[in-house]
């Protein structure tokens, strides 16, 4: 779900409700309200009331929902954490692999460069501390 800021906030607490996120995760999984209700052993009308923000599930159902829908509980509640991609954001596909690997290599190289720089600074700081102390 990474992306530029507007996409990252699509399901955030200010942009969507619990019901919005629940419906999005359910649809992402390809489940109907009836399907989800059956798996949770509640009525479809109960799922509908949750999605319409007319009622809230009990704590034990929240954990079950997050697990069934493949999202994190914090995302379901607040939009923060692992959830579903915002509408219009393309799904991960084979064409994404090489660019992602290239970006990872670039990040790794930058991390090594910074780690080396930190080592040099640490050594200089230790030398300066010895000279002062």
pLDDT of residue 123: 95
Q: What is the mean pLDDT of the chain?
A: 86
Domain contains 70: yes
Q: Is residue 105 part of a domain?
A: yes
Does any domain span residue 125?
yes
Based on C-alpha coordinates, what's the Rg of the chain? 23
Quote the CA–CA distance of 106 and 100 in Å, as a whole number: 10
**Is residue 16 domain-shared with residue 57, that is, in the same domain?**
yes
What is the token pair recorded at 26? 């359910």
Angle ∠(29,34,36) on CA atoms, nearest 5: 45
Structure tokens at 60: 């034990």
DSSP 90: P
Domain with 121, as residue range(s), is: 94-132
Residue 83 lies in a domain: no
Q: What CATH number does the domain containing 30 carry?
A: 1.10.260.40
Q: Using CA atoms, how far apart are residues 61 and 5, in angstroms rounded to an integer?
A: 31
| Whether residues 9 and 69 fall in one domain | yes
Digitized pLDDT (tens) for each residue of the chain, 133 residues in all: 433 334 447 676 677 899 999 999 999 899 999 999 999 999 999 999 999 999 999 999 999 999 999 999 999 999 888 888 777 665 667 777 888 889 899 999 999 999 999 999 999 999 999 999 7
Tell me the Ramachandran region of residue 30: left when phi exceeds 0, alpha when psi lies from -120 to 50, beta otherwise: left
61 and 16, same structural domain? yes
Domain count, the chain: 2
Q: In which residue are the tokens 């309200």 written?
A: 33
Do 74 and 99 reside in the same domain of the chain? no
pLDDT tens digits, one per residue of 52-72 = 999 999 999 999 999 999 999
Q: Judge whether 89 lies within some domain.
A: no
- Backbone dihedral angles phi then psi of residue 52, each to the nearest 5 degrees: -90, 5
106 and 68 assigned to the same domain: no
Does 85 reside within a domain?
Answer: no
The total number of residues written for the chain in this structure? 133
Residue 84 lies in a domain: no
Asked whether residue 86 is domain-assigned, the answer is no
């Amino acid at each position: 779900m990474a992306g530029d800021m507007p996409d990252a906030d699509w399901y955030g607490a200010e942009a969507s409700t619990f019901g919005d996120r629940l419906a999005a995760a359910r649809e992402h999984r390809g489940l109907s309200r009836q399907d989800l209700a059956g798996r949770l052993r509640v009525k479809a009308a109960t799922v509908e009331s949750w999605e319409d923000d007319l009622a809230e599930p009990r704590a034990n159902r929240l954990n079950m929902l997050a697990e069934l829908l493949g999202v994190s509980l914090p995302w379901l509640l607040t939009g923060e954490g692992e959830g579903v991609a915002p509408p219009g954001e393309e799904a991960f596909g084979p064409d994404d692999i090489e660019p992602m690997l290239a970006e990872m290599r670039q990040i790794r190289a930058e991390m090594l460069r910074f780690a080396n720089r930190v080592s040099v600074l640490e050594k200089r700081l230790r030398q300066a501390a010895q000279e002062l102390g």
